[in-house]
Amino acid sequence: MYIKNINLQKHSSIKIGQIVEVLMIELGDEIPSNRYLIAGANNLLLSDNPPPLMMLSKDFAFIKEEDDFLIIGSAMPTGRIVSYARKHDIAGFEFCAKLPGTMGGMVAMNAGVKSYEIFNILHSVKMNGEWILKEDITHGYRFASLSAVVTHVRFKIIKGFSQELLDELKDLRSNQPSEPSAGSAFKNPEGDYAGRLIEAVGLKGFRKGDMAWSEVHSNFLVNLGQGTYEEAKFLIDLAKEKVLEKFAIEMQEEIKIL
């Protein structure tokens, strides 16, 4: 393991944060339990004072086939997973196109699009050197209860990559803002949409400093330039407060705030 200085303003998708020291984990290292793991930082909002951080190094960015299984290292970026699946005619990963992140981040968030979620297709994950079957992991909408850092993820290989499905899902992204964001800020409450609620309380397009609830998709908190953690947090708290007041709904953040 080694320490690397990472500029979170560059690394994070929402372009907020400082330069921080991050402990880089290499293959074979014992993973500390007193540090917070970040990956692609596509779902993170980091304050100027984050907890001690760690990240899996490039050692964990691999894909290999063993018997009928595909084994993917947790640091593998989603874009490269989709390219591999296309090249080797493997089904199931089409929805990962344009879903920014890494294999590990997808598992931890049970990331997905519409009815497609990573837990639908994965077989097992490796934590602390042990393979755990998906059936033994509590998971749900944008959530998985993981007891440790996931280093490897295993999938049963099913043949038949669908370019049509990929194109269809990519089209859904046309209503996504182009400015830096961390994806959906809130989970959709049961039977409703967070974006609809944010709009209904008058916050669509609402701006604080350089952060705003997007004009294009109200559940995206966008950075219009030099947005800060404080501005982002202000807008998140404001939306929660207003939605609670008007609809008696407690919205839950999808973004992880550190």
Ligand X SMILES: Cc1cc2nc3c(=O)[nH]c(=O)nc-3n(C[C@H](O)[C@H](O)[C@H](O)COP(=O)(O)OP(=O)(O)OC[C@H]3O[C@@H](n4cnc5c(N)ncnc54)[C@H](O)[C@@H]3O)c2cc1C
Select 37 or 197, whichever has its Cβ closest to ligand X: 37
Least CB distance to ligand X at residue 60 (A): 8
For 169-208, give one letter per residue: b (16+ CB within 10 A) or e: beeeeeeeeebbbbbbbbbbbeeeebbebbbbbebbebeb
- For the bound state, the minimum distance from the C-beta of residue 40 to ligand X, rounded and expressed in Å, comes to 3
For ligand X, the closer of residues 242 and 254 by Cβ is 254
Among candidate residues 94, 117, 231, 254, the one labeled active-site is 254
**Whether 24 contacts 55, CB under 8 Å:** yes
The whole-angstrom separation of Cα 258 and Cα 46 is 5
Question: Which tokens go with 217?
Answer: 């998709």
* Residue with Cβ nearer ligand X (86 or 256): 256
- CB closer to ligand X, 118 vs 203: 118
Cβ of 248: how many Cβ atoms within 10 Å? 7
Q: Rounded to the nearest whole angstrom, what is the least distance from the CB of residue 132 to ligand X in the complex?
A: 12
30 is catalytic: no
Query: Side-chain half-sphere of 133: how many Cα atoms within 13 Å?
Result: 2
Residues forming a β-bridge with 22: 4, 53
CB 45 within 8 A of CB 256: yes
178 CB-near residues (< 8 Å, 6+ apart): none
Instruction: From the candidates 124, 184, 214, 218, give the one annotated as an active-site residue.
Output: 184
CB of 68 to ligand X, least distance (A): 23
Q: Is 215 one of the catalytic residues?
A: no
Selecting among 142, 181, 214, 231, the annotated active-site residue is 142
Could you tell me the maximum CA-CA distance found in the chain, to the nearest angstrom? 55
Q: Minimum CB separation from ligand X for residue 245, in Å?
A: 27
Is 207 a catalytic site residue?
no
**Residues in the site for ligand X, rule: CB under 6 A?**
13, 37-44, 74, 99-102, 104-106, 108-109, 111-113, 142, 146, 149-150, 176, 181-183, 256
Torsion of CA 223, 254, 100, 98, to 10 degrees: -100
Residue 181 or 188: the one with the smaller Cβ distance to ligand X is 181
Residues 6+ positions from 12 with CB-CB distance below 8 Å: 41, 42, 44, 45, 46, 182
Query: Which residues does the annotation mark as catalytic?
Result: 142, 184, 254
